[in-house]
Amino acid sequence: MIKRLYAFQDLGRALRDIKALSAIAAKQIQIENRRNFLGLAWLVISFAVPTTGIGWLLAELQGLPLNQHIPHVAFGFVAWNFVSACITEGCHIFYRNRSMLLQAPLPRSGFVISLVFKKLFLLAFQLATACMIAATFGWRPNIFMLFVPVSILIYFFTAVGAVLVVSIISARIRDFSEIAASVIRLSFFFTPIIWSTSSRSMAQSSALDIVARLNPLTYYVNLLRDPAQGHFPDALTFGITIGIATFLICSGLLLLQKNGKKIVFYI
């Protein structure tokens, strides 16, 4: 029965070429930075400068010590950049590869997995940069950092499901990409990335604490940031992130089964 399902056939074809997809993702990063004077160093600079500046500014505004808040912001940005980039760029993945899809019957999920690999490579660059920034302000690696690969694995499955969903919906409904981008921009301010519920100003606002707890992106940020800051993610974080990952994978496969062959007509 599974062999007859288009979605599983498509995913199976993509997974057979997973090494090639990861190589393509790495090559795309190199191509995007080939003509720059500093090359891949821009990946470090473009993350380090705004992260340090925003972390310092918000620490002063919230009355938090720099050695606590800047690592909080740095590791939060690593998680947030991955999540937001997967969703916003995932909406356009089939449009950007329109000519390839029209020329050959390529697996749709291959484009999705390649994009996720690209963002995982960028996450690795930014995570290393965040560690250097945090170390400058007194942060030191801890035993809980060994859990980070597990967090990244959950990120991978969640991202594959999320990109499958948003890419197929965006191919069918052109306006969806604008809606998704607007929601992502707004949700940034309601996710504890640059602010913390432990600050003296936020502690007086029970509404913000409730919003943070109801925001699923909070748990994805904590899934990576907690181990980096010496805390093991709690059971609620595990349950919500794994549940969302499972839901998105199932939803993505259902959409791929129903619309996979029609994508060439949508674009």
The pLDDT, as a whole number, for residue 117 is 95
Angle between helices 66-90 and 41-62 (to 10 degrees): 130
Q: Which residues contact 161 (CB under 8 A, 6 or more apart)?
A: 245, 247, 248, 249, 250, 251, 252
Task: Output the pTM of the full model.
Answer: 0.90
- pLDDT value of residue 88: 94
pLDDT tens-digit profile, the chain (267 residues) = 444 688 889 988 888 888 888 888 888 888 877 766 666 778 888 899 999 999 999 888 877 888 888 999 999 999 999 999 999 999 999 888 888 888 878 888 999 999 999 999 999 999 999 999 999 988 888 899 999 999 999 999 999 999 999 999 999 988 899 999 999 999 998 898 988 766 555 555 567 778 888 899 999 999 999 999 888 898 999 999 999 999 999 999 999 999 988 888 887
